[in-house]
């Protein structure tokens, strides 16, 4: 079966190997004549960026490049990007890369036309209505990792350096006008990034599936996304040039982000403060917390996970699924406990309390199937430090 198709949920996705060649046409579709190409500093030095910019050169499309993007983007990165966008008189953004570049590219397109500070548009209530929607520039998203699914999302994550907190900025027009999902762009990813982004995709699918509420479409997408990750992530990590595994992981990443419109949960609630305070890889941090949160949520999700296990071909219901997650993490060298992720970790009581408070306040917390109290967050943190599932 050819892994090429066209999706329109939630936005138009041109999916398939080699489709990066359609970038000029995608820009025309989005109405962009003078794009700002946003990527990260590591990617900017690689041939994949040079070959993509050559496509723009050959099409005689004028563009600018911005790559001052941290692994966990901060407000200063956004300010710098907006300044470049305005100075170059750009009319849209090509967000090219992993989650950090995708998120920041989207936020530059959003913020360049606004007069209020970015923090006024946090995903709280109807704060998004404060934005001048007509001033938001169009976006073409090109993912080069298979994890965040930010290419099909209506939000971007940005760290407030003053408060050391990750903020989710939301607006419907943060959704890219068009996505080019070309799995060939992911073949150069190192194993660590392949695994980390893959665990992020799995966390999105799992938490969306477990989140309370009625959204059978998200449930179905999340469930099939889990199957794709469990089957294809080990293959993609073992052989980076396995285009079938890469394509399925790229699909799973987009599925996870599509599914989590239903909700996320405590995996992300705990991962966000750790990432903000210790600058850890987001997906790998999700992978660390996954079994601890799954065990915590068991009273509310056991029946649901038993159904999932049956669909996934896993014997033993909830316990079988937990064993499968632990086995996957071990096979892929995902750290089992926080000290394995953060070398020299020394967390005092005050810091643990701060992380617990940040987790409870995180926007993802509302989607957790078991209420996450400060005490429960502290307990989960202690377990993840000790490695006791």
Sites in the chain below the pLDDT cut of 70? 1-2, 8
Residue-wise pLDDT tens digits, 183-237: 999 998 889 999 999 999 999 999 999 999 899 999 999 999 999 999 999 999 9
Q: In what order do the strands lie in the sheet with 5-7?
A: 5-7, 12-15, 178-181, 139-143, 92-97, 35-38, 64-66
Joined together, the tokens standing for residue 72 give 């966990």
C-alpha neighbours within 13 Å on the C-beta side of residue 73 = 31
Cβ-based neighbours of 83, under 8 Å, separated by 6 or more: none
pLDDT confidence of residue 201: 97
CATH level 3 topology of 5-185: Rossmann fold (3.40.50)
Residue in the structure block whose two tokens are 């033993």: 316
Q: Where do the domains of the chain lie?
A: 5-185, 192-386
pTM across the whole model: 0.93
CATH architecture of 192-386: Up-down Bundle (1.20)
- Please, which residues have CB within 8 angstroms of residue 62's CB and are 6 or more apart in sequence? 33, 34
pLDDT tens per residue across span 34-49: 999 999 999 999 999 9
Q: Is the dihedral of CA 284, 286, 287, 288 positive or negative?
A: positive
Q: What pLDDT score does 8 carry? A: 65
Equal CATH topology for 5-185 and 192-386: no
Identify the CA nearest to 351 among candidates 387, 320, 379, 378.
378
**What confidence score (pLDDT) does residue 72 get?**
85
């Amino acid at each position: 079966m050819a892994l090429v198709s066209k999706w329109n949920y939630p936005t138009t996705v041109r999916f398939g190997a080699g489709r990066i060649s359609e970038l000029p046409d995608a820009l025309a579709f989005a109405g962009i004549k003078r794009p700002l190409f946003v990527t990260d500093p590591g990617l900017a030095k690689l041939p994949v960026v040079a070959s993509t910019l050559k496509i723009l050169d050959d099409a005689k499309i004028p563009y600018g490049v911005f790559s001052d993007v941290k692994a966990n983007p901060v407000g200063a990165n956004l300010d710098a990007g907006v300044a470049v966008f305005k100075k170059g008189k750009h009319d849209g953004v090509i967000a090219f890369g992993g989650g950090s570049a995708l998120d920041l590219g989207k936020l530059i397109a959003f913020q360049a036309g606004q007069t209020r500070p970015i923090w006024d548009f946090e995903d709280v209530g109807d704060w998004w209505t404060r934005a001048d929607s007509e001033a938001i520039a169009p976006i073409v998203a090109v993912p080069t990792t298979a994890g965040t699914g930010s290419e099909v999302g209506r939000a971007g994550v940005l760290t407030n350096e003053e408060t050391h907190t990750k903020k989710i900025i939301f607006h419907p027009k943060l959704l890219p006008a068009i996505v080019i999902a070309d799995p060939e762009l992911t073949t150069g990813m190192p194993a660590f990034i392949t695994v980390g982004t893959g665990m992020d995709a799995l966390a999105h699918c799992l938490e969306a599936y477990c989140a309370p509420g009625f959204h059978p479409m998200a449930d179905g997408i999340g469930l099939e996304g889990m199957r794709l990750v469990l089957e294809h992530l080990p293959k993609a990590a073992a052989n980076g040039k396995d285009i079938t595994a890469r394509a399925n992981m790229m699909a799973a990443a987009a599925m996870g982000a599509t599914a989590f419109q239903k909700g996320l949960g405590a995996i992300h609630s705990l991962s966000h403060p750790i990432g903000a305070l210790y600058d850890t890889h987001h997906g790998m941090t999700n992978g660390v917390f996954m079994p601890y949160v799954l065990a915590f949520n068991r009273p509310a999700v056991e029946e649901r996970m038993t159904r999932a296990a049956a669909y996934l071909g896993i014997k033993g219901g909830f316990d079988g699924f937990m064993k499968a997650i632990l086995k996957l993490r071990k096979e892929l060298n995902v750290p089992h406990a926080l000290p394995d992720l953060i070398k020299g970790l020394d967390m005092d009581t005050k810091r643990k309390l701060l992380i617990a408070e940040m987790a409870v306040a995180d926007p993802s917390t509302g989607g957790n199937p078991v209420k996450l109290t400060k005490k429960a967050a502290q307990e989960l943190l202690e377990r993840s430090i000790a490695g006791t599932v």
